[in-house]
Amino acid sequence: MKKIIILYFFIIGFSHTNLSAQELDTLKLNAYFDTLEENNKFMGSVALSKNGKLLYTRSTGYLSVEDSIPATKGTKYKIGSITKTFTATLVLKAVELKKLDLNQHIDIYFPELINADKISIKDLLNHRSGIHDFTQDYFYSFWNTKQKTREDLLEIIINGGNDFAPNAKAEYSNANYILLSIILEKVFRKSYASLLETYITKPLKLKNTYLLTKALDLQKQEAKSYSFASNHWEEEPQTHHSIPLGAGGIISTPIDIVKFSEALFGGKILKPESLALMQNTKDQFGLGLFLFPYYNQIGYGHTGGIDGFRAVFSYFPDTKIAYVLTSNGINYNLNNISLSVLNAASGRAYIIPEFSTTTYKTTEAELDKHVGIYASADISLKITISKTKTGLTAQATGQASFPLKAINENIFTFDQAGIQLTFNPTQNTMLLLQNGKEFLFTKE
């Protein structure tokens, strides 16, 4: 459900090469994931298919580090906001069944909500409602591990108010999909979990995909999630299952999500006109879908992040290739992993990374030279560099801070987002490198 750092782009490339599955070099791809696993860079699973045929699947790490239970292809991960694609699919199914109209306003369901008489079902779907995203509030982390009723969530959303007028612009908000979950339950008079089963998982025989309605169960291969700190994996607190609903509450496997994406884009769930509505983007948002460029190909899919879980799925209609990654522990650039798998599928080059086991030991004087607030003419946000007991941290405007690893006295990295910062103390500048793009910042 959480937004990913604004510096963390999912941009795959720009060129004129088709994504077409060649004979897959599984030995090299296995070596790639072996390297990530051995260096504590990635715990999770991936799946890749073409024309409905599974080409590759791989799992690394543990579903429970403390219990030394290894992950397998049957391990289930929270998929975060990929849930929104399932929710949007259910909404379009409700439209096809004449239970909802995309243009109807939501005051019939939530008369107490500000601007409810001006916000449509479609506005909720493509994040144009203006309703504030409560998951971005400072106090969210103080209560998100506690149980909440539908009424509690609605009260929180109502009290959060609106950030802009309906349909004035697009801005991502998990509150939109919480409201859609409640609307679906009202019009069908069934729980979201039941609707998911009736219209998606049961017809498609997705036995490992469901709304999480209880605490994680290791016996069901439901993975815990972790962050990497102080040279080891630390378990993350878990958002209570009563909160995410259709915004981020589904648990699944990459193989199941591959099957779902193949069925969705293969016309086995919705009518062609409904799918076309989902794919039609405005201000980067479709209805539960984003665009994913890979060279001259366009894919459709979604990303997900909740607690320490990260996930991404994309489907390329022209080549019928589906790609899914789910993770319960990431200490590397997720985009690099996705690009490597897709490059392997298309016969393009990718590199097995090398990781240094030594860390440069900085002095207090070296760190002091870099502390400050940096601004750029190319990006509207500012980056604050601070000193801690263990080194430096960086924090972009309005976002959480993240630790920096010293390569030498002037170069620092954050591998999880593929960020490299190169400082020039004599000129009071900092060069940000990410995903092949450079941005020059100057200390204020």
Sheet holding 210-211, edge to edge: 77-78, 250-252, 210-211
- In the block, tokens 């036995």 appear at 207
pLDDT of residue 296: 87
Angle between helices 83-96 and 272-279 (to 10 degrees): 140
The pLDDT score that the predictor gives to residue 355 is 81
Task: Quote the DSSP letter at residue 281.
Answer: -
Say how far apart CA 80 and CA 257 lie, in whole Å: 13
> Which residues have CB under 8 Å from 82's CB, separation 6+?
250, 252, 257, 301, 302, 303, 304, 311, 312, 313
Residue spans of the chain under pLDDT 50: 2-21
Strand, coil or helix: 7? coil
List, in order, residues 6 or more apart from 74 with CB less than 8 Å away: 208, 221, 253
CA dist., res. 350 & res. 13, Å (int): 13
Sole residue written with tokens 């060069």: 431
The residue count of the chain comes to 444
Euclidean distance between the first and final Cα of the chain, in Å? 34
According to the model, what pLDDT value does residue 1 have? 59
Residue reference for tokens 């601004």: 375
Q: Is 1-355 CATH 3.40.50.10860?
A: no
Contacts of 98 (CB under 8 A, 6+ apart): none
Please, are residues 328 and 46 in contact by the beta-carbon 8 Å criterion?
Answer: no
Q: What does the alpha-carbon distance between residue 258 and residue 263 come to, in Å, rounded to a whole number?
A: 9
Question: Rounded to an integer, what distance in angstroms lies between the CA atom of residue 180 and that of residue 246?
Answer: 7
Residue-range domain boundaries for the chain: 1-355, 364-443
364-443 belongs to CATH 3.90.1150.10? no
d(CA 232, CA 365): 28
- The answer to whether 362 and 409 are in contact (CB under 8 A) is yes
Alpha helices, H only, 303-430: 334-346, 364-368
Nearest in space to 355 (alpha carbons), one of 295, 410, 413: 413
Report the alpha-carbon angle 163-143-44, nearest 5: 95
Distance CA 305, CA 65 (A): 20
Structure tokens, 433: 């490198």
Number of neighbouring beta carbons within 10 Å of residue 35? 15
pLDDT in tens, 340-353: 999 999 888 888 98
